[in-house]
Amino acid sequence: MIKSKILLLGSIALDTIQTSHGSRKNLLGGSATYAAISSSKFIKPNIIGIIGTDFSGPHKKILVDSCDSLEDLTSKEGPTFRWGGKYFDNGDERETLFTELGVFDKFNPSISEVNKEPDYLFLANISPDLQLSVLNQLNGKPVVILDTMNLWIDIAKDKLLQVLRKTEILLINETELVELTEINDFHKASKKIQSLGPKVVVVKHGSKGSVCYTGSTSFSLGVVPNLIVKDPTGAGDSFGGGLVSALAEGHSLKEALIRGTVMASFCIEDFGVNSLLDSKKEEIISRSLFLSKSLKF
């Protein structure tokens, strides 16, 4: 089996979460963290990110165990990035309560030589400035997969469009897609994105599944049914981590979409990264087989 090198950029965070199942403070989170743990079940990625002095030993150990190298993980005096979110009862919508950049403010990494020629670059949710800075430091031509969020569409759209031009695969949820393109029809909006750079657009519809637009065709996938959703945080990042790991192993886009969805299904079953960490190969395979029956062309 092909195993390519994955480089991952995103936030490493301490999250405070409220859902209908309860509240938790300072959980290990962040887009890079979820994506790395998800990918690591198949391929351990290298990670670019920053943590502060309040980042605990057990949290660091999770990153050590999930990544191939932490060469580009910076530690700095100051607080780790913090995010607070509250979910509405439908589970698909949430409100950001606070975002405290901490040591991520002014973070401008210089990428080490070992990370300059990845085969796959996953730009998980983080500022487009940082995404561009990493893209511009690479020597090789990796397959670029991009995720983002409404905040960056609101405050850094021009920079985000620059990143899009260098992106092959965009992962985006339905509300972000409409906001970015100003088009209400998902099919037309995805076509518009394809004219801005990415050949492939994966639209995430939360509990309704996802649709992948590629060339002039599209296919859709459902979700793993009958799960108790305790905390949806990180589902999108786990989806991205799973998807990139499948592509890096040489699997098709369809298989990558299935793996992404399965990894997201583990993520939402408990608060923080717990259930993702505990996911086992046999259960991943059995959920994937079940889910493949919901593929529609």
* Binding site residues, ligand AMP, CB under 6 A: 11, 13, 15, 29-31, 83, 99, 125-126, 149, 151, 233-237
**Smallest distance, Å, CB 55 to ligand AMP?**
13
Q: How far is CA 171 from the centre of its chain?
A: 8
Nearer to ligand AMP, 92 or 200 (CB): 92
**Smallest distance, Å, CB 37 to ligand AMP?**
11
Nearer to ligand AMP, 5 or 259 (CB): 259
Contact present, 203 and 177 (Cβ < 8 Å): yes
End-to-end CA distance of the chain: 27
Phi first, then psi: what are they for 54, rounded to 5°? -85, 5
Contact present, 28 and 37 (Cβ < 8 Å): no
**Smallest distance, Å, CB 83 to ligand AMP?**
4
**H/E segment holding residue 284:** helix 281-292
d(CA 97, CA 193) in angstroms, rounded, equals: 30
d(CA 112, CA 116) in angstroms, rounded, equals: 7
Nearer to ligand AMP, 40 or 125 (CB): 125
**Smallest distance, Å, CB 158 to ligand AMP?**
17
Phi first, then psi: what are they for 132, rounded to 5°? -65, -40
Nearer to ligand AMP, 83 or 120 (CB): 83
**Smallest distance, Å, CB 162 to ligand AMP?**
18
Nearer to ligand AMP, 29 or 52 (CB): 29
